[in-house]
Amino acid sequence: MTFRRMLPFILVNVLVSATVVLAILWWWDGRVEDTPLPVVEAPDAAVIAPTEAPDSSNAPAAGPPAQQPAQEEDPSGPETHIVGAGETLGQISVRYDVSMEQIMSANGMSNPNYLFVGQELIIPSLDTVEEGQEASVAQPEEVDETALPTPIPTEPPAEGEASVTIAEVIGPGDAPLEAVQIVNNGSSAATLQDWKLADQFGNFYTFGPITLFGDGAGILVHTTAGQNNGTDLFWGAEDSLWRSGDMVILYDAAGAVQAEFQVP
């Protein structure tokens, strides 16, 4: 077949192919236009609406708050002092510029000679002391002078020595009444920490952080058990320890004999 005879067939194929391509393109274009594209909206800026006050007419009865803030400590409260090893009431009074009598009154103490390590003392402020003094001046007729403590120097003597002795044994042979009286007749304070009160058979009592002021200040060591306080200590024995003719011996912390006493 010659080229001239084939030309009409070629032209028909080209025309048919072009028609098919145009039809497909027209169909696809129409489909894309009919499909809506998703619209993405930008978020609006956050708007904080004012808080409206609740309607008190329909609100339930107010109760206690679920949680209260912790209360701060009152910085204007009384000052305290923790007793250290070897301290005396006179030294503490000088440190805070308050008399021994005022410290004893604030802490309910009856004997200035009994202090122990770790004891917490309330130190009265100058304002409290001045208020008490003003009240005393305003109502002098209510002051009972017979109840006032014997004046005690607020500072231990700078010179002098301690002289700790065994004054007597009370109620020997009667355990509930039995007690040894120890007295400091010197002019300076004596600390009895780790001192020992012993009998001639090797039984002994060890003192804690006890301080005896001078000028006749003393303390009782009871044979039986009890609660220690400012004037009385308790050995904790079940039976009496002392009989007529027994020796009572007082050793210091180094083991040296400081005093001896024979029960009459």
Whether pLDDT at 208 is above 60? yes
Q: What pLDDT score was predicted for residue 41?
A: 52
CA 234 to CA 167: how far, in whole Å?
17
Q: At what angle do helices 100-107 and 89-96 cross, to 10 degrees?
A: 100
Residue pLDDT, tens place only, 53-84: 445 445 444 444 444 444 444 455 678 999 88
Q: What pLDDT score was predicted for residue 10?
A: 81
Give the 3-state DSSP-derived string for 146-196, with helices as H, strands as E and coil as C: HHCCCCCCCCCCCCCCCCEEEEEEECCCCCCCCEEEEEECCCCCEECCCCE
Residue pLDDT, tens place only, 102-159: 888 888 887 777 677 778 889 987 665 555 555 444 444 454 444 434 333 334 444 5
Q: Report the percent of the chain where pLDDT is more than 90.
A: 29
Mean pLDDT for 232-259 is: 93
Whether pLDDT at 174 is above 90? yes
Q: What pLDDT score was predicted for residue 147?
A: 40
Q: What pLDDT score was predicted for residue 70?
A: 42
Whether pLDDT at 194 is above 90? yes
Neighbouring-strand partners of residue 261? 248
Please state the pTM of the whole predicted model. 0.46
DSSP 145: G
Q: What pLDDT score was predicted for residue 158?
A: 42
Q: What pLDDT score was predicted for residue 3?
A: 67
Nearest residue to 261 via CA among 167, 171, 194: 167
Cα distance between the two ends of the chain: 166
Residue pLDDT, tens place only, 214-239: 888 889 999 999 999 878 999 999 99
Residue pLDDT, tens place only, 28-38: 776 655 555 55
Mean pLDDT for 89-100 is: 85
- What's the whole-number average pLDDT of the chain? 75
Residue pLDDT, tens place only, 3-26: 677 777 788 888 888 888 888 888
Whether pLDDT at 165 is above 80? yes
Whether pLDDT at 190 is above 80? yes
Q: What pLDDT score was predicted for residue 252?
A: 94
- Catalogue all structural domains in the chain, each as residue range(s) with its CATH number: 79-136 (3.10.350.10), 164-262 (2.60.40.1260)
Q: Sheet harboring 247-251: ordered strands across?
A: 204-206, 196-199, 247-251, 257-262
Q: Map residue 16 onto helix, strand or coil.
A: helix
CA 175 to CA 164: how far, in whole Å?
24
